[in-house]
Amino acid sequence: MMTENAVPTVTLNNGIEIPQLGFGVFRVDPDKTNRIVRDALDVGYRHLDTARIYHNEEGVGHAIKESGVAREELFVTTKLWNDDQTDASAAIDKSLARLGMDYVDLYLIHWPAPDNDTYVQAWRSLIEIQQSGRAKAIGVSNFTIDHLERVIAETGVVPAVNQVELHVDFQQAELRAFAAGQGIAIEAWGPLGQGKINQSEELAGIAAAHGKTVPQTILRWHTQIGNIVIPKSNNKDRMAENFDIFDFELTAAEVATIATLDQGEDGRNGGHPLEVH
């Protein structure tokens, strides 16, 4: 299925549809969030990803109100921070107040923070939050296979999404395969490597063959292998470039070539799920 702005949607395991290409506001200055999100909406993005710990939920909410885009046309995600895992119900109420909304489309546990051993308790709370209507879908972020297996075993409820670091240098094939088997959608944060874009001759050649940039080629690769992807940029022209990825298709051979660029754990740029508290 396609949305009005020609972005494909992925159907989550509870039937909710999420635009496969979204816009993230990680490390977006709260004072600049309004302008940046307005620019993204102007370009055509209708999927916005924020979090309590980003300190810019309020700016996202203001930008949406000022944009004139109807709430029902948007897919909005926010996240439960680690320190709030024992009181997720209060945490989402505060996030909703900052966003100026009655519900979010997706609410995620931001990190498992396993040393705290509260992520299963948090997941039970998210199940209740979804039942209350404050989130249409619920999921997790930065969960390993072990973390996923535990929440599923202890609650019987499978997360709709696992948002993880995933890019050409760190492709997480084993996690992707497990998620596919469980009906969990994979969402990639840092999809371009958090600015450390792969500069290989292979990628440059593939991009040139399609008359596209390397970042466009990487984002297209993500969508073709089934990932939901949330690039970010403070620059409107770059936002538009990242949005312009659905008028070409990589060949099976090109996708296979990109698979060879995976560096495994050596390619990880962000924190490890076992080490973030």
What distance in Å separates the CA atoms of residue 99 and residue 235, rounded to the nearest whole number?
23
The three-class DSSP label of residue 108 is strand
What SS3 string covers 203-235?
A: HHHHHHHHCCCHHHHHHHHHHHCCCEECCCCCC
> Token pair 């000022």 is at which residue?
66
The three-class DSSP label of residue 212 is coil
Nearest residue to 132 via CA among 89, 163, 83, 98: 89
- Phi, then psi, of 162 in degrees rounded to 5: -125, 110
Q: Are 58 and 29 in contact (CB under 8 A)?
A: no
From the candidates 45, 54, 107, 119, give the one annotated as an active-site residue: 54
What distance in Å separates the CA atoms of residue 126 and residue 223, rounded to the nearest whole number?
27
Catalytic-residue membership of 54 = yes
Residues annotated as catalytic are 54
